[in-house]
Amino acid sequence: MTGLHTLLPRPVVVRPAPGEHVVTSVAAATDVSTVALDPVAVPHPGGYRLSISPTGVEAVAHDPAGAFHATQTLRQLLGPDAFRAADIHRGPWTLPCGVVEDHPRFGWRGVLLDVARHFMPKAGVLRVLDLLAAHKLNVLHLHLTDDQGWRVEVPAFPRLTEVGAVRAGTWVGRQPDGDPTHDNRPHGGFYTTADLREIVAYARDRHITVVPEIDVPGHCQAAIAAYPELGVTGEPVEVWHGWGVSEDVLSPAESTVDFFRTVLDHVVDIFDSPVVCLGGDEVPTTQWHASAAAKRRAVELGLSSVDGLHGWFIAVLAQHLATHGRRVLGWDEILDVGDLPPGAVIASWRGEAAGVRAALAGHDVVMCPEQQVYLDHRQADHPDEPIPVGFVRTLADVHAYEPVPAELPAHAHHRVLGAQAQLWTEYLDNPRRVDYAAFPRLAAFAEVVWSPGEPRDQAEFLDRVATHHLPRLDALGVEYRPLAGPRPWQLRPGVPGRPRPVR
């Protein structure tokens, strides 16, 4: 048993009381069927109320998601052993007495997992879903396609996975731009349709929505390697071994659009998310400017320049998603390339300014600024930090993040759906490295998007993590970064990174 003050994320209201309640097992204490649903008594979606006395537990929730969240809170209160895969607990299981009243601050409490740069097998994704659920996070954004790999089976186009899902080798760390060398170690993998249906169902049982991303019209070199006719030049290319932004982009031919309509038909048949991400970020226009066919196509479409093909791609595929009743999610570059499709959601990643601009224009926004919530970025400005890339973002930095920008007027606050932590995997080549980058910072992020937004007590939070939450992560088998720095086996001596200035 642990006290009510140990909970993470921090609940809205906690009222401790004397005494404890003895339960027979973890399964009995966390049985979601014992939680009553009463949206009048608990008015907030995803919310719940627990009343624990020596004689029993009264659990009430607004909806099934709230009931699930209530059971996650009860699991924390039982102590770290409740998170183990088998019961090794000695003595009775007990719960502290008191009242917890709780509900989420934001409806979008997300994590992006990049499985394109480094593939994560299905079992690893299911484990990530369990970890998200334990932290009351409710969106998994799966980045399924990129220059370095195509990870979703599409029966109509088998070469996407036969060719596009494997590369000949990989940069280890961040090599100089244009370096043609790699480690000569083939890397690959993909999810079958059945795998993805299983992932979606597993997430649904945990009240998590899986948002798929099919990135267009840039970040498509793996698709072009599989089907060269999708590219501007039509010339063969390889699945890319390096990191950065590839010049290879999609041809604006109608046949290319039809190809991706078919891909999206398959994607929406698998994923039940109301939102599908089309990417739209980092789209070089060099090949379009050099292509007579692309210039002719731009004229046919009534565009003033081939630069307009970027926005046209997003708009036409967003229209197709709309026929399936889905909204488009795009990275914030799509704000700058033409009129946004109706219902478009903007992922503000280059900072907060784009999110503010989108919200003021009446668009929903998910805040994910790289300066704040890119968890692949380094955790300390220290030479021992493995593969140091990006900005320094400590545990305390993440906990201090405020998703609603200070510059956003109050009348537009409702446009901020929530926020999303990002786990890009160029430098996270296995689940152990993902654990290291994500935790315990993801616990801080979970509190940011769940708990009330008033000023946070950093000292209390850091003590709560060290004393109470790290033991839970230990029980779950999470190989997090210790607060004092990496363990010897977590170091990557000699592997180059690309740090950015400390902010």
Q: How far, in Å, CA of 377 to CA of 422, rounded?
A: 9
Residue with tokens 């080798």: 169
Residues 6+ apart with CB under 8 A from 285: 249, 306, 307, 309, 310
What is the rounded (10 degree) CA torsion for 357, 362, 368, 372?
50
Two tokens at 347? 């992922």
Count of beta carbons in the 10 Å neighbourhood of residue 357? 18
289 is a catalytic site residue: no
- Annotated catalytic residue: which of 20, 81, 101, 282? 282
Q: How far, in Å, CA of 434 to CA of 113, rounded?
A: 9
Q: How far, in Å, CA of 216 to CA of 145, rounded?
A: 9
DSSP 11: P
What angle separates helix 431-438 from helix 441-450, to the nearest 10 degrees?
50
Asked if the bond preceding 471 is cis, omega within 30° of 0, the reply is no
DSSP 374: B
Spatial CA neighbour of 114 closest among 461, 470, 394, 437: 437
Spatial CA neighbour of 211 closest among 439, 413, 368: 368
Cα 443 from chain centroid?
Answer: 14
Bridge pairing between strands 389-390 and 145-146: unpaired
- Annotated catalytic residue: which of 63, 102, 114, 146? 146
Two tokens at 313? 């791609």
Bridge pairing between strands 145-146 and 149-150: antiparallel
- Annotated catalytic residue: which of 219, 310, 363, 377? 219
Q: Contact at 8 Å (CB) between 23 and 77?
A: no
324 is a catalytic site residue: no
CA angle in degrees (0–180, nearest 5) for 427-235-231: 65
219 is a catalytic site residue: yes
DSSP lists the bridge partners of residue 347 as 331, 366
Catalytic residues: 146, 219, 282
